[in-house]
Structure 1
Amino acid sequence: MEKRGGNGMAWTYTESGPIDAPLLLFVHGGGVGGWMWDRQVEHFRHAHCLVPEWSEQDGTGEDELFTIEKSAEALIRLAERKSAGRPIVAVGFSLGAQIVMQMMSDRPDLLSGAMLGSGSIYPASLARPLVGPLISLFYSLMRSRKFAALQARSLYVPGEQFDTYYAHSLGISRAGLIRTVRESLGYRLPAGFAYSTARLLVTVGEEESGSMRRSARDLAQMRAGSELVVRPGIGHGFSLAQPEAFNALLARWLEEGGLLPRRGSGR
């Protein structure tokens, strides 16, 4: 694990797998941590896996505040430094998917592939001003174990990871949470996304909001050859709700695109 602070933001990451294999970058969503990808890292242990972790604590200066743009900048530098010219595939969930979209827009030639799960591309202009008052009103409740259990259930956090999830929740500051949610709700897909050369897989839960499903459909339609997968019977959290199906889908898509060799085959 290593701390990074080149643009003022505090990042850490974990690294595993053979360093000469294709690079898989797993970017977590808001309200959860890198631990959400534990079962993916275990499954793809024949790849070189990087799992960055960013803090939802509020920084002490303007340059330390979380933004999607600064997060993408930090991960572009990390991916460039670690890839050594090998293919890079980024997998993002929710806010993490928005960060990956920003990476694709800022550096259209960087990624060989991207799997975008439940990432919104349409700003929620009406909801965004309400974020601060609502979080301030319910912040104490949000830190209770019972409320956290309800939230964990809605995100499909497995029982064995609940304590990790709850500890993570307690570490989120009020200001950091407000800023993170506002960032996500205000995100608009940059024009540069159209120039990305990455192969694209988009996923969304069948029971997610209409806006989220529309975002997924429109993302996939922007790029010729993209694949859209709508998972039946689930809401927000495909990789946590159905990890085996998620891993099988990602493995199949990577192998079909020549982005990762099958297990047991030579590189």
Structure 2
Amino acid sequence: MYVEHSGRMDGPVLMLLHGGGVAGWMWRPQVQQFSARFRLVVPDLPGHGRSSAEAFTTIRDTADELAGILAALRAEGAPVAVAGFSLGAQIAVELVGRNPGLVDSAVIVSALAVPLAAGAAAACAAGHLLPLARLRGFARLQARALHLGNELFEDYFRTTQAMSRRTLEAVLRENACFAPPEGWGSTGTRAAVVAGRNERAVMRRSARLLADAHPDAALHIVEGAGHGLPLQDPERFAAILERATAAA
């Protein structure tokens, strides 16, 4: 898995986990804003961006691999924070829940946590639509739905072009079938759980489920925001991230 390290190398660690169908480039505004304070650790998740040759398998496998990276940094004495969006938020929940004591604070943005009954079938069907997703016109429509500005479109289009059908189906299946691990509520990690007011009702319900299951979690329902807060409103997201990591 490709992982980019930047910012203050002797500072506390902030790992940023992107959503499905994009890559580490989605975090450029946050990398610029937080690089003076944090060591930024930004992976391209398997099957995405510069990790496109490595097919995505499961949320659990990916979380375990990322936990190994964080454990090595933690051993150097650095505090650790993780922020994830959508698929990356689900991976962050899995990572935190399976590794008590590893992460000091987590920001979970738009994580689906209520398994969808037809998720596996929908993922298989979506795989047949991959050629459509590789058309520039269709990609522009998808980019707008994700609140990607023109400056990020070519990055998005390259990421889409490089994604395999196997990865797309695995991402959609894992996303739709995800449920938080048993350890999520007993990790000792401070958590900010975030959803947009304009997201689907199941996303807001998922945020409340995650917050209610965690004894040290704050729930943030962001007015006017849809699915894509870090891209749609980087300033409001940065304020949440700043508060959540203030003790780092």
Q: TM-score, normalised by structure 2?
A: 0.93
1:40 maps to which residue?
30
Question: Which blocks of at least 5 consecutive residues in structure 2 are unaligned?
Answer: none
**Alignment CA distance shift 1:207-1:146 (3 Å):** same
1:219 maps to which residue?
210
Q: By how many angstroms is 1:133 displaced?
A: 2.1
1:47-196 mapped onto 2 (5 Å cutoff): 47-56=38-47, 65-83=56-74, 84-136=76-128, 138-196=129-187
Does the CA-based 8 Å contact 2:124-2:169 persist in structure 1?
yes
Alignment size in residue pairs:
244
- Tell me which stretches of 4 or more aligned residues in structure 1 moved more than 3 Å: 57-61
SS in 2 for 1:233: coil
Q: Computing the radius of gyration over CA atoms, which structure comes out larger, 1 or 2?
A: 1
1:6 maps to which residue?
none
**Whole-angstrom CA distance in 1 between matches of 2:53 and 2:24:** 23
Identical counterparts, % of pairs: 34
SS in 2 for 1:114: strand
Paired amino acid for 1:191: E
**Whole-angstrom CA distance in 1 between matches of 2:53 and 2:227:** 32
Q: By how many angstroms is 1:251 displaced?
A: 1.0
Range moving further from structure 2, 125-134 or 170-179: 125-134
**Whole-angstrom CA distance in 2 between matches of 1:195 and 1:224:** 8
| CA RMSD across the alignment | 1.8
Does the CA-based 8 Å contact 1:90-1:113 persist in structure 2?
yes
Question: Which blocks of at least 5 consecutive residues in structure 1 are unaligned?
Answer: 1-10, 260-267
**Alignment CA distance shift 1:224-1:55 (3 Å):** closer
Q: By how many angstroms is 1:60 displaced?
A: 9.5
Paired amino acid for 2:245: L
**Whole-angstrom CA distance in 1 between matches of 2:126 and 2:8:** 45
Query: Structure 1, residues 44-88: CA drift from partner, whole Å, max 9, x if none?
Result: 012111001123279999xx6521111011111101112312110
Q: By how many angstroms is 1:179 displaced?
A: 1.2
Does the CA-based 8 Å contact 1:56-1:180 persist in structure 2?
no
Range moving further from structure 2, 75-84 or 88-97: 75-84
Paired amino acid for 2:38: A
**Whole-angstrom CA distance in 2 between matches of 1:40 and 1:114:** 15
1:23 maps to which residue?
13
Task: Verify: 1:208 aligned to 2:208, yes or no.
Answer: no
Q: TM-score, normalised by structure 1?
A: 0.87
Paired amino acid for 2:111: G
**Whole-angstrom CA distance in 1 between matches of 2:240 and 2:123:** 35
Paired amino acid for 1:216: A
Q: By how many angstroms is 1:170 displaced?
A: 0.5
**Alignment CA distance shift 1:65-1:235 (3 Å):** closer
Q: By how many angstroms is 1:114 displaced?
A: 0.4
SS in 2 for 1:115: strand
Does the CA-based 8 Å contact 2:17-2:89 persist in structure 1?
yes
Query: Structure 1, residues 103-135: CA drift from partner, whole Å, max 9, x if none?
Result: 111111110000000001111122321221233
